[in-house]
Homo-oligomer: A and B are copies of this chain.
Amino acid sequence: MTSTPHRPATAPDAPAPRPRIGVNYTPRRGWFHSWLDLEPAQISEDLAQIAALGLDHVRLFPLWPVLQPHRTLISPSAVRNLLTVTDLAGEHGLDVSVDLLQGHLSSFDFLPAWVSTWHRRSIFTDPDVAAAQKQLATEVASELSTRPHVTGLTLGNEIGQFARPDHPEVDPITPAQATAWTAGLLETVTAAFERGRHHHSFDDALWFTDAHPFTPASAVELGASTTVHSWVFTGAGQRLGAHHEGLALFGRYLIEVADAWRRVRGADPDRRIWLQEIGAPTPWISAAEGPDFAERSIRAALASPRVEAVTWWCSHDVARSLADYPEVEYTLGLFDEDGRLKPIGERIGQLAQELAAAPAPAASEPLPAMAVPELAPDGSDRSQLAPTSEVFTEWIAEALAGRIHRLDPAGLPA
């Protein structure tokens, strides 16, 4: 954990393409239940607001039980609706990426009846389920591949949550099974949509929970780039305290964790990172603090030449009339539930426009290295980098003093 600022960095030296800034699209009317009652005019209005802010892409989230209500039945109208929303985004100049299997969204799990109760079976290892997912992936990816503004698919929003040891109905699988599932479905998606850049996603339990079958190895080795979801309520907030200045650096910390794991695994030296979710959750970040938190978080992330995109969570507040979300989920939008731009949305819009007008980032200086303990490549001691660790607090303290470090686990090959 001592700081060794002069150790050579491994970040790529070449200038990176200009990073992209977008938002996870949460429909203002009816949240994701709007798939059941699609009103294209309403959706178009939401997407126009997003585009007008200067954001360049959205992530879309169909619901698995709506797309595939039966193991052997894909709903034609659900696929049609997904394409309708995709095309509306394109009309507003937004690029699109689609998460396939939801799966999990904002505390709610959407699982089809054919993997539940009497029909319960692993969504990761049952061969019939896997075949059905691949059929859905092929159909959806093929359709989306015909739209030039679709950049690719993600397998499912944080779908690894279903195998997280603390899930109330955990799907208990091994790391080998988790990896095989991820690799297999990515292969299917890629076969159907060759030009796309396809991803898998997970919450930060993948980086920090020793027993999680989805591993850092799969994060840095599978998919077009490594995805990172940054939520300060999963440990950083508890460790640093609400309103702490360091919270705006947690996203960047995760980026360094991801990059450290790339090196531990000897993965692609040009591997990029997509900060696919980051948000300003209360009470850790107050509404008044939101704009600064957002700007600092995004600038810190983009200061890493590895970061290809930042996608804010989320576009629109969840309506208060929709009950049962954790309190934090109601106020994460750039727009409020009446469609009014919030200060945080204004700030992110300004930042997006500034960055779009700026020259492409120059090649960056190598980062100083912070030595950290050796990490078992299989992730079995990955909690050493968790927000509960001294590594975390030291890294944050250094970063707050202006010194962003890369993390250098002991025992890396020279």
What chain B residues lie within 8 Å of A77 (beta carbons)?
36-37
A117 contacts B by Cβ under 8 Å: yes
Closest Cβ of chain B to A386, distance in Å, is 22
A195 contacts B by Cβ under 8 Å: no
What chain B residues lie within 8 Å of A177 (beta carbons)?
none
Complex Cα distance A116/B128, Å? Answer: 23
What chain B residues lie within 8 Å of A37 (beta carbons)?
75-78
A25-68 CB mask vs B (1 if < 8 Å, else 0) is 00000110100110000000000000000000000000001100
B323 pairs with A70, CB closer than 8 A: yes
B73 pairs with A33, CB closer than 8 A: yes
* A75 touching B36 in the complex, CB below 8 Å, given contacts A118-B109, A118-B168, A167-B117: yes
Closest Cβ of chain B to A270, distance in Å, is 38
What chain B residues lie within 8 Å of A181 (beta carbons)?
none
B69 pairs with A36, CB closer than 8 A: yes
What chain B residues lie within 8 Å of A233 (beta carbons)?
none
* Most central of A70, A77, A169 by chain B CB within 10 Å: A70
A107 contacts B by Cβ under 8 Å: yes
A410 contacts B by Cβ under 8 Å: no
Size of chain A's interface in residues, with CB distance under 8 A? Answer: 36
A357 contacts B by Cβ under 8 Å: no
A323 pairs with B168, CB closer than 8 A: no
Q: Which of B69, B72, B108, B114 contacts A114 (CB 8 A)?
A: B108
Closest Cβ of chain B to A231, distance in Å, is 15
A328 contacts B by Cβ under 8 Å: no
* Most central of A71, A111, A323 by chain B CB within 10 Å: A323
What chain B residues lie within 8 Å of A114 (beta carbons)?
108, 323-324
Number of copies: 2
* A116 touching B109 in the complex, CB below 8 Å, given contacts A33-B70, A70-B33, A70-B323: yes
What chain B residues lie within 8 Å of A6 (beta carbons)?
none
B116 pairs with A111, CB closer than 8 A: yes
Complex Cα distance A119/B108, Å? Answer: 7
What chain B residues lie within 8 Å of A168 (beta carbons)?
117-118, 120
B119 pairs with A107, CB closer than 8 A: yes
Complex Cα distance A169/B322, Å? Answer: 26
What chain B residues lie within 8 Å of A109 (beta carbons)?
113, 116-119
A71 pairs with B323, CB closer than 8 A: yes
What chain B residues lie within 8 Å of A110 (beta carbons)?
113
Complex Cα distance A154/B113, Å? Answer: 22
Per the 8 Å Cβ criterion, residues 115-139 of A in contact with B are: 116-120, 128
A321 contacts B by Cβ under 8 Å: yes
A324 pairs with B71, CB closer than 8 A: yes
* Most central of A72, A75, A108, A113 by chain B CB within 10 Å: A113
* A78 touching B119 in the complex, CB below 8 Å, given contacts A113-B110, A322-B70: no
Per the 8 Å Cβ criterion, residues 84-120 of A in contact with B are: 107-111, 113-114, 116-120
Complex Cα distance A22/B252, Å? Answer: 65
B72 pairs with A323, CB closer than 8 A: yes
Q: Which of B71, B128, B321 contacts A72 (CB 8 A)?
A: B321
* Chain B residue, CB-CB nearest to A75: B36
Complex Cα distance A79/B113, Å? Answer: 21
* 11 A–B pairs (Cβ distance < 8 Å), ordered by A: A30-B73, A36-B36, A36-B78, A37-B77, A70-B322, A73-B321, A73-B322, A107-B119, A109-B118, A111-B117, A114-B324
Apart from A108-B119, A109-B113, A116-B116, 8 more pairs, CB < 8 Å: A30-B73, A36-B36, A36-B77, A37-B78, A72-B321, A108-B114, A120-B168, A128-B323
